[in-house]
Structure 1
């Protein structure tokens, strides 16, 4: 990807993607203070220049500007030029970030970023207005309610797209360099269901994680138990779907990985402050019971999703299938300030068990399978021997197998999802070769 996109959410001022949990933030200020104790003295000449610029703006700008506005803008500028994921959070943005990790917030349900000056869709979130409108990763948002987005900052674009639940918004999109087209959406309160599961067919389960929220690890454990119960016996294979999952809470990614691993390192982080040097290892319990595993990823799989995919790939616990992931390998820590404000600051990079940094590179799948439309030919009405009147019985006494009527066969997720159907086919093949 030529330019690393700056992620955020329509429901949030800033999205928490693969970051340290908000619960860890209380320890961070003390650690940060300790790290700064040996710093060089403040650059007085530069501070004089800052004060002079502040004074000149107040005296000569065409309209009056308050000290508070100028100082807050200066803080935002300091952070915005560090990296795409560090940010200053005003009280509203801080509240919205905290709400996002609990899985309920207001908006369109779409993760967006900036690339070459345009607002670009990173991924729609399942079961939201954006997903129902068939907005796709990679779509460019060129207009919001008829106003061009070119030249807007990401925060300005997000502010325009936020609004009261039930209100309508018109987005003009460009897909694959084609002609612009309009999509009307109705804003809603987004309640993200982090984990979904079902049996694809007898013996084969499907587990999808849409975001990594605080309780996602616990939900995955419950989903695995339910799949076993619904199947009536141990599963023969499982598809873990991390496509279009923008990330979330670091601890949740560790807990999810631990459900599939019995030992070894899951992820480690490296940074400058003491509590940014973290290592997470698996415990001996394996909630998945060692079931054959295929993990689906794509360009919308970011951060916490890449932690899980990278750990499972390094331990050869499952086969990764799909397309290259997003490539966000940094960790953000939320540092509360006074007056209900906070900093979201990049404090570390994370590494897979084998020491791979995913930053700006992503994870390559073991088997590349691009997204494609899956269509089925009309069923053939072939007559079999067992359909013929007076046919002979089977020589070994087996039951007849006449032609089947498939007209009333219920729809399944794999019927119109090419990547998922390929994952299921691979799992069946693995079971055949293993004699299971």
Structure 2
């Protein structure tokens, strides 16, 4: 009798799932129904048989809800690294994180094999100050071996009350595993900042694409023009270790520098609502001055959209390393009883039709990841992984939470105030450090060469 009840529950679950997932935004647009697929019922029979064996023979008694949730989670997480099933408590935490009510480390992470990989540390966060680098592998979180947990469980372990500490065991190429102890903080991000490197050469660092970032960038360029006492001759946009952010922000920032008709980016998926194109808008705040964009393997998602758009419109020279290759679109969908679904629904393509997914943006000028300092002063970084290396990553499909700790967004006024608090002496210190940065040093050389070429 219990066996028959379980079978009945499975069938009820399957039918309710059909209704649950057949929302107008997904299934109706394709007119797809699992009831029309013979393979669906074959798979359901297999699932029913496995479910029945677990209920009768597994060493511990497991309730139906747990088994169903495990099955759904496996169904979704087996698709790609960025699709996930959110239980009600996870949904609540997502809401809290967008309000800044959590303590974190300030890293964007993904999976690599059985372990968690640092995609990039976020500027001026505990993880950044502790020296974590793109490509680092997290082997243990506290006493927990990472190979025994999934990505979401790893995120939960690293989050906690501000002021508390967590020990991470880190694996890095060519050196023995080591332990870092990091104190959690409320994660806030100054999304952009700017400096005048030399007469006429501006430097713009974009750490993440937030809602006010385009407005902040426009104000920063205005401030640099004022400090330069004339229009900028050229600009370096530093997107290294920028994990991405909001699509709208990346489009708005691209449009600050593009002054020709066309598109910034487009998406392609299986449903009409997933197929979108985002046009350029007239107006270039630099009036055509040369741009160099710096990227590395820690540059992902929205960073790749900006770099791809500027590259395809021949508006910027891309320098550095091939980027991460996170070119997929995730949509959030609410399910019954407070559950949620984050599902990959489309791929991003650059204006010329290049897929970003699993390929990234290739630089026009490739740079080795070296330092101008001596080996005793600074150890070179080995970035060893990209989107294509993640478990179950999507293919490029030419014609194309990574998981992140959501930062508290600063208002434009707060960001600009933080900029104003940097003194001229501090500015010069930053400039001196930047000129010792190999990527920046080479970008300045290229921009100077372009200036000479234009004069001739």
Query: TM-score under structure 1 normalisation?
Result: 0.80
- Asked if 1:30 is matched to 2:24, the reply is yes
Counterpart in the other structure of 1:348:
346
1:140 to 122, 137, 140: 137
2: CA distance, partners of 1:299 / 1:241: 13
Counterpart in the other structure of 1:393:
none
1: CA distance, partners of 2:217 / 2:343: 29
Q: Which secondary structure does the structure 2 equivalent of 1:70 belong to? A: helix
CA contact (8 A) 1:109 1:130 kept: yes
Counterpart in the other structure of 2:301:
303
CA 1:309–1:98 in structure 2 vs 1: closer, same or farther (change >3 Å)? farther
CA contact (8 A) 2:102 2:161 kept: no
- Asked if 1:428 is matched to 2:437, the reply is no
- Between 312-321 and 246-255, report the one with greater CA deviation: 246-255
Q: Which secondary structure does the structure 1 equivalent of 2:108 belong to? A: strand
- Between 158-167 and 131-140, report the one with greater CA deviation: 158-167
Counterpart in the other structure of 1:386:
none
2:204 to 184, 199, 207: 207
Matches for 1:412-427 after TM superposition, within 5 Å: 412-427=432-447
CA 1:302–1:170 in structure 2 vs 1: closer, same or farther (change >3 Å)? same
1:279 to 255, 277, 280: 277
Counterpart in the other structure of 2:372:
374
Shift of 1:220: 2.2
2: CA distance, partners of 1:33 / 1:111: 32
RMSD of the alignment, in Å? 2.4
Shift of 1:354: 0.8
Shift of 1:62: 2.8
Matches for 1:112-191 after TM superposition, within 5 Å: 112-191=109-188
Where in structure 1 are there 5+ consecutive unaligned residues? 1-27, 377-407
CA contact (8 A) 1:374 1:415 kept: no
1:230 to 208, 227, 232: 227
CA contact (8 A) 1:297 1:322 kept: yes
1: CA distance, partners of 2:92 / 2:204: 30
1: CA distance, partners of 2:160 / 2:195: 34
2: CA distance, partners of 1:161 / 1:58: 34
1:313 to 311, 315, 318: 311
Shift of 1:435: 2.2
Structure having the larger proportion of residues in helix: 2
2: CA distance, partners of 1:89 / 1:420: 41
How many residue pairs get aligned? The number is: 378
CA 1:161–1:230 in structure 2 vs 1: closer, same or farther (change >3 Å)? same
Q: Which secondary structure does the structure 2 equivalent of 1:246 belong to? A: coil
CA 1:434–1:93 in structure 2 vs 1: closer, same or farther (change >3 Å)? farther
Q: Which secondary structure does the structure 2 equivalent of 1:180 belong to? A: strand
2: CA distance, partners of 1:77 / 1:36: 24
Q: Which secondary structure does the structure 1 equivalent of 2:24 belong to? A: helix
Shift of 1:411: 5.4
1:324 to 322, 325, 349: 322
Q: Which secondary structure does the structure 1 equivalent of 2:117 belong to? A: strand
- Between 112-121 and 362-371, report the one with greater CA deviation: 112-121
Q: Which secondary structure does the structure 2 equivalent of 1:427 belong to? A: helix
CA 1:282–1:410 in structure 2 vs 1: closer, same or farther (change >3 Å)? closer
1:213-254 per-position Cα deviation (integer Å, ceiling 9, x unaligned):
233223222222222233222111111111111112222211
Counterpart in the other structure of 1:243:
240
Matches for 1:333-412 after TM superposition, within 5 Å: 333-375=331-373, 412=432
2: CA distance, partners of 1:144 / 1:234: 49
1: CA distance, partners of 2:47 / 2:224: 61
Where in structure 2 are there 5+ consecutive unaligned residues? 1-21, 375-427
2: CA distance, partners of 1:99 / 1:219: 25
Shift of 1:335: 1.5
1:358-400 per-position Cα deviation (integer Å, ceiling 9, x unaligned):
2211111111112222239xxxxxxxxxxxxxxxxxxxxxxxx
Shift of 1:52: 4.2
Q: Which secondary structure does the structure 2 equivalent of 1:150 belong to? A: helix
CA contact (8 A) 1:200 1:413 kept: no
CA 1:306–1:160 in structure 2 vs 1: closer, same or farther (change >3 Å)? same
Query: TM-score under structure 2 normalisation?
Result: 0.77
CA 1:74–1:358 in structure 2 vs 1: closer, same or farther (change >3 Å)? same
CA 1:101–1:417 in structure 2 vs 1: closer, same or farther (change >3 Å)? farther
CA contact (8 A) 1:105 1:189 kept: yes
1: CA distance, partners of 2:203 / 2:99: 23
